[in-house]
Each structure stands twice: as C-alpha cells, then as structure tokens.
Amino acid sequence: MNLPKNSIESYADFHKKFTHQFAGSKHVKVTSTSLFSIRQSHAESLRDYLARFSEATIKVSNPNQEMFVAAFPNGLRAGHFNESLAQKPASSMQEINKRFECYIKGEESNAEKRQRDAKEKEYVSCNGKAPGHQRQRYRGLITNHQGAKSKTIPPSGNTRL
C-alpha cells in the first residue's frame, strides 16, 4: 500500500483504507448448492470446465461428494460426456475424473481435426484445390461382381489410349 506521508488522519480512516486495499484477497466460502450455478460456457473446453468446477469445490465450506457429483453434470453442455453421465451416473468425483480422461482425448482430437479441416477449406477457397492434391490419370479395369475383367477405363480428358 503506497500512501503519502500523513495521509491517514484517524483509526477509522486507516481501517477503511486497509480494508479497501486487501478486500480482494479475502477468501469467500462457497456452499455446495452454489455449485449448481456453475455452467460450461459455449466456447469452454471440457478440461477447462472441470478445472473451474474443481477449483470451486475447494472453496466449499462443508464438502459433500454427493452434491459435487450431482452439480457437475448439471452444468455440462450437451455432448458425449454429458450423455455418458446421464446413462450411467458417476458415484464419485474420482469416477468422473477417470471417465473424463477418456472423453477429453476425443474432444481434443476433434478440435485439432476441426482446426486442420478449417485451414484446408480456407486453402481450397483461395487456391481452388487442397494442398497435396494432384490430378490422377490412370488406366484401370472394371471388374464385375464375379471378378472377371470386362472393360478398360480410359483416362479422363481428350487423351487416347
């Protein structure tokens, strides 16, 4: 607290300034029922939601695992993990954490693939074809369902065999 010299005129003034300075560091206790108001935001990953929820459970004044287990899925967005917990409810936060690890790998893999696909789509819209895309010219044989060769396919375009 950087105060100019002689800026505190009384104990009440000191108390007010001291309280104002350190009010942000006060730890607020949370009730188990307040965990039901924690919601996973639209852009929030499953990992970030679990971390935020777990951080809030640490602040609960009277910890109750049953309340934690009931409140966690209540705040989840619709998705595969939510469906899993609805079909087979977890009995503890430890079980939620264990099951979470399976789903988080899938979610993170999907996010990476969406990002890759978006980059490819952007590249195609700018350049007209996907990176690494080559026109393939080949000659092949059509086979009937019994495996007999029936006809040669010429390459596309005006080239002759």
Give the tokens for residue 48. 């970030």
The residue extents of the domains of the chain are: 27-161
What are the pLDDT tens digits along the chain (161 aa)?
566 777 778 877 777 777 777 665 555 667 888 999 999 999 998 999 999 999 999 988 888 899 999 999 999 999 889 999 999 999 999 999 999 988 888 888 888 999 999 988 887 777 766 655 555 554 555 555 555 555 555 556 555 55
What sign has the CA pseudo-torsion 126, 132, 137, 141? negative
Query: Residue 88: what pLDDT?
Result: 96
